[in-house]
Structure 1
Amino acid sequence: MTIAKRNTISLTERVSYGSGDFASGIVWHVSTMFLMFYYTMVIGLNPATIGTIIFASKVFDGVTDIGMGFIVDKTHSKHGKARPWVLWGSVPFLISGILLYTVPDVSTFWQLVYVAISYNLLSFAYTMVNIPYGTLTSLITQDQYERSVLNVTRMLFSTAAAMIAGMGTLAIVKMLGGGQKGWIFMSIIFSIVGFICLLLCFKNTKERVKPAIKALENRPLPLKTSLKFLFNNKYWVIVLAFFLVQNIASGVGTAISTFFVAQVASASASLTTESLMGILTITTVIPTVLCMVLALPVIKRYGKRNVAMVGTVIALIGSFIILIEPYSLPLLIATNVIKGIGGAAVVAILFALLADTIEYGEWRNGVRTEGLIYSAGSFGAKVGTGFGTAVVGWMLAAAGFVSGAAVQPESAQSMIVFIFLWLPILFNLLMIIILYFYKLDKEFPRILADLAAIREGQTDK
């Protein structure tokens, strides 16, 4: 039986795998897009304090990622090593997604305590689900193209969740009564949908990949040794840096977008914040979805790294266009479309890049550590997102932002525009530099052949 045949993935399994990212996304995208806005404009808390809480929580969360990855690598059950955690974490994820918005009407100090606790609970539940979920890609198949297909599938579902979050959240909140009550009811609906999708992911996926050296499959490996192997994996280090920068950019972009949109809407006589948010979301999501699907044959021919570099350059061009006139709706839409096209190339390969470093690590060190590699990559993603969100809070506070105010001081308005326009340009340049050093696409076929030869040698014996 050939490897290609053995690793063929059915449409049902692909869709079910993708539903896992929809589950995470429908809860997580809302929090990354709107949490800063919700805590400052609805609850009335200070943006710098909220930014600091989110960043500190993300650093702690990143540490728990490493621990969760280590636990996944140690898990051996009838359902595999990653799938059972998708099931076990679904209920905590459901509950914590709701608690995030049920801030009690008490003093500011105790509200901040509640925010810190509830945010960390959701982060921990997210870790409990998402680290095993991300690890699944490397356990379902070793085929590079199939991994790209799975990655595109999950990102399509994640993008769909982002579209629903971006276009629907404010409208749903308003429809359900507005104010804190509307936000709580919205969180209940989205959390239940996420719970159902996680169950679907668990039920219809299958772990197939085993270590090349069978004798090491159940061998206990100390955390210190695992971490040493991790940092000996040069391509994992490169991908970690890429994850970090890409997610700082994402954290900044999602945190500032609602503030910028509200500012643009206030300058328009015909647009509301809700309608403009919907327009910008759909003009980003549609080109992203279309280009992710079209990217698959291009990735197969030119490689993940080259496609990602071209996509980042396209996104950089889009970032320059809006500099002509920041409050121009046609230019804002054009920028979103171009950035959506470029961003599609990046998200289409993001987690597939990380999965390929697992084989490189096994080839170099003789041991597969799927959970640890993915969790440490997730560490970069979470710390990056948290830092990006915190930067927005710190910069807004420094510029004199007034929580809950319908009209902000001119200094705060200028800062919102600066963050929205210039920081994405800096991050895209850094991403291009990092991708230049990633050469694994060319080396991967030889690495996979070497690992296959080791397996065959053991079978012959």
Structure 2
Amino acid sequence: MSLAKEEVFKSNIQTEKIHFKEKVGYASGDLACNLIYQTVSTYLLFFYTDVFGISAAAAGTMFLIVRGIDALSDPFIGTIVDKTNTKYGKFRPFLLFGAIPFALLAILCFTTPQFGGWGKLVYAYITYIGLSITYTCINVPYSALTSAITRDSKEVVDLTSTRMFFANLGGLIVSFGVPLLASFIGDSTSTKTGWQMTMTIMGIAGALLLLYCFRNTKERVKIKEVHGKIKFADIFEQFRVNRPLVILCVFFILIFGINSISNSVGIYYVTYNVGRPDLVSWYGMLGSLPALLLMPFLPVLNKKLGKKNLMRVSLSLTIVGTLALLVIPTTAIPLILAARLIAAAGSLIAGGFMWALIPETIEYGDYKTGKRLGGLINAMIGFFFKFGMALGGIVPGLVLQQFGYVADQAQTPHALTGILITTAVIPAVLLAVALMVINFYELDEQKYAEVVKSLEMRDKIGSFKR
């Protein structure tokens, strides 16, 4: 390529500096999603069994079915996102029009109508399905929005770092603040009202933050038209040729399954096994706190250890912290909290780093097929991490039912054993599987650099040849 053509190519790359206000505006979208959906993921099972009045088995089965339906809708929504083109852009309109329905459906999920047994179950299915699909309509385009804000790699890193900080700040607020707020309001009114009002506060805050995100972000990069029409069948082509994406999807199932199980059963473990319901907020807070300290160091850790070793170390750390609960006496509160902190540190490193791998799979898919499918690939990832999150409802619900758990009373030793198995043993087994899976992720630093170089050359010469 001539020097003149290379300079023209460079001049076409988006290098506009993103102001701090816009970075905060973008990150506020993930804060919003965490305030609402993490509240649902962490506390809805407990609300259904101990407040709403649904059996653990029925609630667990519902989690699996609803999230399965939700996950199946992801690829369709991803295809719609990739085809969208409005005066507000490709991705931002979903934030604008989805904010209020998202908040309203979340509030309805934590509302207890005066229905009978079957009526409650039907109501729960309808509201939970509606909430989950609405979340997908917001989260898929939000995740893909980064590529439309800037192409500058440094700015992308800054955006992502700010986003992850705000996301974990939301997790911290949910894990520590939601139980306190629900308990405080419930003490002066009723438990049902306490949870409903708490979700109302989270929902309103989330909707306002999504609107703030919409207002304070700009889609500067005009995504070029892909070579060929986008269609649903592109999913199957990606699975056929994009092995890194397949491995990452499996990894998302496992890690989000582990996190969802741990978060869902944590309130049971602290309330019944430890006998300290007053520590639920602290236990939850320690599950998010390490992220605020560790996320800024992810690039350094990746540089020193490499992708696979970073994952191996973080997953091993999580296994140690998780299995420690099997041998720590339930009266040793400081040791229990220390084990929670260790497990959370490893889990958050692995979970945070997973998101950094998604752009690699998008580039690799573009390299193999000539189609840059940001919306569709993010939707595919969403399908699998929601399937993993479903484990947080179905696994604890079925295990607790099998071991004779009865809501809102002292548990039998057999039931306490079931809670402990769900808290420590099941996550440890899934973590061991994740350790094996990560070995099959072959897109290392050298190969990825070759992929990027090939894409740059392809764009320079305007060819889609392989």
Aligned to 1:313: 316
Aligned to 1:269: none
Please, which of 431, 435, 439 is the counterpart of residue 436 of structure 1? 439
Are the structure 2 counterparts of residues 200 and 311 from structure 1 closer, same or farther at C-alpha, using a change threshold of 3 Å? same
Provide the rounded CA distance (Å) in 1 between the counterparts of 2:65 and 2:238: 27
The two structures, once aligned, show a CA RMSD in angstroms of 2.2
Shift of 1:206: 3.1
Aligned to 2:357: 353
Please, which of 409, 414, 418 is the counterpart of residue 411 of structure 1? 414
Shift of 1:293: 1.5
Provide the rounded CA distance (Å) in 1 between the counterparts of 2:355 and 2:80: 20
Shift of 1:305: 4.1
Provide the rounded CA distance (Å) in 2 between the counterparts of 1:143 and 1:349: 20
Provide the rounded CA distance (Å) in 2 between the counterparts of 1:287 and 1:280: 12
Is 1:386 the counterpart of 2:395 in the alignment? no
The 8 Å contact of residues 145 and 300 in structure 1, kept in 2 or not, is answered as no
Are the structure 2 counterparts of residues 260 and 226 from structure 1 closer, same or farther at C-alpha, using a change threshold of 3 Å? closer
Aligned to 2:290: 287
- Deviating runs (4+, > 6 A) in structure 1? 2-5
The 5 A counterparts of 1:93-104 are 93-104=102-113
Aligned to 2:212: 200
Provide the rounded CA distance (Å) in 2 between the counterparts of 1:229 and 1:99: 37
Provide the rounded CA distance (Å) in 2 between the counterparts of 1:199 and 1:66: 25
Aligned to 1:278: 281
Aligned to 2:226: 216
Aligned to 1:169: 178
Provide the rounded CA distance (Å) in 2 between the counterparts of 1:181 and 1:118: 18
Structure 2, unaligned runs of 5 or more: 1-9
The 8 Å contact of residues 152 and 348 in structure 1, kept in 2 or not, is answered as no
Is 1:65 the counterpart of 2:68 in the alignment? no
Q: Percent identity?
A: 30
Are the structure 2 counterparts of residues 365 and 49 from structure 1 closer, same or farther at C-alpha, using a change threshold of 3 Å? same
Please, which of 32, 37, 42 is the counterpart of residue 28 of structure 1? 37
What SS does structure 2 have at the residue aligned with 1:440? coil
When normalised by structure 2's length, the TM-score is 0.90
Provide the rounded CA distance (Å) in 2 between the counterparts of 1:353 and 1:197: 26
Please, which of 148, 152, 155 is the counterpart of residue 161 of structure 2? 152
Deviations 1:1-55 (A, max 9, x none): 4788716543323222221111111111111111111111112210100111111
Aligned to 1:297: 300
Deviations 1:46-87 (A, max 9, x none): 010011111101111001111110101111223322121121
Aligned to 1:340: 344
Provide the rounded CA distance (Å) in 1 between the counterparts of 2:143 and 2:265: 27
Shift of 1:199: 1.2
What SS does structure 1 have at the residue aligned with 2:321? helix
Please, which of 212, 225, 228 is the counterpart of residue 237 of structure 2? 228
Shift of 1:416: 0.3
- Aligned residues, how many? 449
The 5 A counterparts of 1:173-188 are 173-176=182-185, 177-188=189-200
Is 1:76 the counterpart of 2:106 in the alignment? no
Shift of 1:283: 2.9
Are the structure 2 counterparts of residues 385 and 129 from structure 1 closer, same or farther at C-alpha, using a change threshold of 3 Å? same
Aligned to 1:448: 452
Partner letter of residue 436 of structure 1?
N
Shift of 1:244: 0.6
Please, which of 421, 425, 435 is the counterpart of residue 424 of structure 2? 421
Structure 1, unaligned runs of 5 or more: 267-271
The 8 Å contact of residues 230 and 361 in structure 1, kept in 2 or not, is answered as no
Provide the rounded CA distance (Å) in 2 between the counterparts of 1:210 and 1:108: 52
Provide the rounded CA distance (Å) in 1 between the counterparts of 2:27 and 2:39: 18
Partner letter of residue 381 of structure 1?
F
Provide the rounded CA distance (Å) in 2 between the counterparts of 1:220 and 1:188: 42
Shift of 1:147: 4.3
The 8 Å contact of residues 14 and 152 in structure 2, kept in 1 or not, is answered as no
The 8 Å contact of residues 59 and 393 in structure 2, kept in 1 or not, is answered as no
When normalised by structure 1's length, the TM-score is 0.91
Shift of 1:150: 3.4
Are the structure 2 counterparts of residues 458 and 7 from structure 1 closer, same or farther at C-alpha, using a change threshold of 3 Å? farther
Shift of 1:421: 1.4
The 8 Å contact of residues 75 and 232 in structure 2, kept in 1 or not, is answered as no
The 8 Å contact of residues 304 and 353 in structure 1, kept in 2 or not, is answered as no
Please, which of 252, 269, 283 is the counterpart of residue 261 of structure 2? 252
What SS does structure 1 have at the residue aligned with 2:288? helix
Are the structure 2 counterparts of residues 204 and 439 from structure 1 closer, same or farther at C-alpha, using a change threshold of 3 Å? farther
Shift of 1:92: 1.1
What SS does structure 2 have at the residue aligned with 1:78? coil
